[in-house]
Amino acid sequence: MITVRYKRGLTNIGVLWFTIGCCAAYGKDTCAVSISVVHADNSPVDGPEAMLLDHEGAVVSRKKVVEGRVEFCDFDFGRYSVRIGGDRCGSATIGNIRVVFGIEQKLKAVINTCAGEGDPVSAHGCLVFVRARSPSAEPLAEVNIVGADVTRTTDSYGRALMAVRQGATDTFTLSKLGYKTQTLAIDCTLQVYDVLERAVTMDPDR
């Protein structure tokens, strides 16, 4: 409804006051927030969880991103934020969101893929990031690491990436001239969604 008043004393056209309010939205449900969720290449994201958080960081609502879209159609007064992808590297947070009556806010979130993130467990098994160190925490280069299926040698920072078949266990053997041989047991019988990170300390062979 629009209320029109004419100011007394003015001729012809007069001065109009429009009391519009939110009447344009009456009889129509409007979703408060609609978010388009895409990868860096603008392709739609599917699957991650989106959380609506209040000003204290408490979770108010959880939704699944489906075919690059998630909606939070109503929430209480105040300012909120939406976090998509949890605490993983590359996740996205949109802050200071509030409900504006009668207006659908269309936002966009970009989910980046960080190195080492994604799907480290496939049909093939678990990835294991190994660091070889001395007792004083110095990295050990050229440590030979032997597993059932993979053999690697650590780089100058004492790092190597190993693998274990899905559903299996393995014991890596770490050896280096001048140091005692060490072993590292890895269990890949349960599904793992992150690269396993393991540090091994190797004592000098005296």
Burial class from Cβ neighbours inside 10 Å (0-12, 13-18, 19+) for residue 35 reads buried
pLDDT of residue 117: 55
Name the CATH superfamily housing domain 28-111: Carboxypeptidase-like, regulatory domain (2.60.40.1120)
Average pLDDT over residues 182-194: 83
Check pLDDT > 80 for residue 192.
no
Domain boundaries, the chain: 28-111, 125-201
pLDDT of residue 4: 43
Average pLDDT, the chain: 84
Average pLDDT over residues 178-204: 89
Check pLDDT > 70 for residue 170.
yes
Using alpha carbons, select from 144, 189, 182, 145 the residue that is nearest to residue 166.
189
Residue 105: both structure tokens together:
């806010």
Name the maximum alpha-carbon separation found in the chain: 107
pLDDT of residue 193: 60
Residue 125: both structure tokens together:
């098994």
pLDDT of residue 126: 85
pTM for this one?
0.54
Question: CA triplet 127, 128, 129: central angle to 5 degrees?
Answer: 120
Average pLDDT over residues 185-202: 85
Using alpha carbons, select from 183, 131, 184 the residue that is nearest to residue 156.
131
Asked if 28-111 and 125-201 have one fold, the answer is: yes
Spatial neighbors of 202 by CB under 8 A, at least 6 apart, are 132, 133, 134, 140, 143, 174, 176, 179, 180, 182
CATH architecture classification, 125-201:
Sandwich (2.60)
Q: Which residue has the higher pLDDT, 34 or 163?
A: 34
Check pLDDT > 90 for residue 195.
no
Per-residue pLDDT of 44-90, as tens digits, reads 999 889 999 999 999 999 999 999 999 999 999 999 999 999 888 88
Distance between CA atoms of residues 71 and 33, nearest Å: 6
Per-residue pLDDT of 112-152, as tens digits, reads 877 655 444 444 578 899 999 999 999 999 999 999 989 99
